[in-house]
Amino acid sequence: MHTATPVRQCAPTKWTRPLQVTTVICAVVFTIGTALQNFVIVDLAMLENTMQLAGMAPEQAAESAPGFLLGFRTVGCLYIAGNAIGLLAMQGRTWVFWAVLVVNLTQAAGVVAIPPEVFQASVEEFGFAGVLPSVVTDGGALLLGLVLLGFLIRFRSPWAQLKTA
């Protein structure tokens, strides 16, 4: 006979609401930053320049860039949606915590996963403003991800809550 698993109850701590508010603020900033990176900073000309900086012939770069841009923007849209999930943090739902944690830790990998030529081409085209969205979103995602992990380890429960049962 199968019995129902008891529902684990949690109570908020003094850290719960500040952690959720921080997550919502970061979600707004990271959603906007990712959209800027995806649709303003990275365009066809910038990608062609990136590919040429990486050693590709101009003709080959012109041929490869459109397909790469489509893939890049598809992934970017997934991160825009993923970052937007953080707007639900105030509800305190466990699935939101885990989604935010996964999105932020994987987005943080962008700092090392993105080839340096992308940053070089961004700076050549836009100056420091060309890398600012990536620095804010990827670097900020790393910080938020580590903060969420730290509270998860400390309280052994999402959103810095204490288990009551």
Please say whether the dihedral angle defined by the alpha carbons of residues 42, 67, 71 and 57, taken in this order, is positive or negative: negative
Single pTM value for the model? 0.88
Q: Is residue 3 part of a domain?
A: no
H/E run at residue 164: none
pLDDT score of 112 more than 90? no
Query: Domain containing 18: what range?
Result: 14-163
Q: How far apart are CA 11 and CA 74, in angstroms?
A: 39
**Overall domain count for the chain:** 1
Residue 41 and residue 126 in contact, taking contact as beta carbons nearer than 8 Å: yes
Residue 69 corresponds to which tokens in the numbers above?
């841009």
- C-alpha 116/C-alpha 92 separation (Å) is 38
Higher pLDDT, 149 or 6: 149
For residue 155, is it within any domain? Answer: yes
Question: Is position 5 within any domain?
Answer: no
Q: Is residue 145 part of a domain?
A: yes
Whole-number pLDDT of residue 1 = 56
Closest CA to 107 of 82, 72, 71: 82
The answer to whether position 40 is within a domain reads: yes
50-83: per-residue pLDDT in tens?
999 999 999 999 999 999 999 999 999 999 999 9
Rounded to whole angstroms, how far apart are CA atoms 91 and 94? Answer: 9
Asked if residue 18 is part of any domain, the answer here is yes
CA distance 4 to 23: 33
